[in-house]
Structure 1
Amino acid sequence: MTDVRVYFADLAAYNAGTLHGVWVDLSIHTDEESIYGEIRKMLEQSPEHGAEEWAIHDYEGFGPVRLSEYMGIKELAELAELIVEHGDTVLAWISDQSVDYIDDFDADRLYGTYESERDWAWAFTEEFEESVKEMARKEHGEEMALLIKIDYDEAVMIAKCNWGWSFVDYDGKVYVFTQ
């Protein structure tokens, strides 16, 4: 599970020169009301009388996503829920597509994660290559089987250009998403 936390700052205290706020764990506080409840508690404990304004001043676990100070709590809760549920898979997808298209995310489109694009191509074509080599051995002998090679770079290019697959390099791994 990915830790997803946001620091909500008390703006009345901030403007008065005092740091006052609360870190909220969005894997625990998963809905709007619970998040607002934590913000309300923080504002009630403000060193400044009548504090009611807040802003996002820091966050962790959002990968490439840059949160706005005044992002809506509903959108924040929905994004955090996806990150908690899908971890680096959704963060890799966002790094390729943009958080603006988060509604298009579908975890079932993840084909797999690999060390490299060529690693995917090898894994994807291994069974096919072996069956073609076996047919060549039966028909023409071992020498013919030795001639059969898969162009892994071409396999990746076909997946990208012809099939519309995405290969996303994120956090040291390649995430492969189908169309």
Structure 2
Amino acid sequence: MMSPRRTYHFRPEGDRLEPGRSGTPVSFAGVLLAPGAVYIAYVGEMRIYRFRGGRLEERTRGFAALDGGVSDGTVSPDALAMLVQHAKAAPRALGCEAAVEMKTQVENTEPGDVFLVCSGGLWSAVAERRITGILAAHRELRLAASLLVDCADENGESELVTCILARVADI
């Protein structure tokens, strides 16, 4: 027998969870890659960066209005349809009964683009220039992710560090 679904609310007085309250604080960020395009979705304090041509660009703050090639036709209709279809599953995957107001965008990708999905434990503890240096110096994403987490740890963030890297395949 399955237990009933519960929602939780963080109380301002501390980190104790209280069942049955709505307004659950949610943090989520994800990228969904398709041929020539990426669908970006996020809510809360997670961030997504794109590393391209030696430059690190944050894609989650102030970029939600970007069109990213959708209206000019550079993202194929098939790729866009596939991205939208799969992206609708994100709120359900978070266990949300009601729609979560995620910010989303679709952008073009280039071979070799690296996307970094990370929590505040990383972006608040490690300077963007350091993240850029690590991504530029290490093509092996597993090593780069490990070094980024180590940097966060060295800067006092020993818990709650999320660091996920994905590279667009070279053609």
TM over 0.5: no
Higher helix share: 1
TM-score when normalising by structure 2: 0.24
TM-score when normalising by structure 1: 0.23
Higher strand share: 2
Which of structures 1 and 2 has the bigger CA Rg?
1
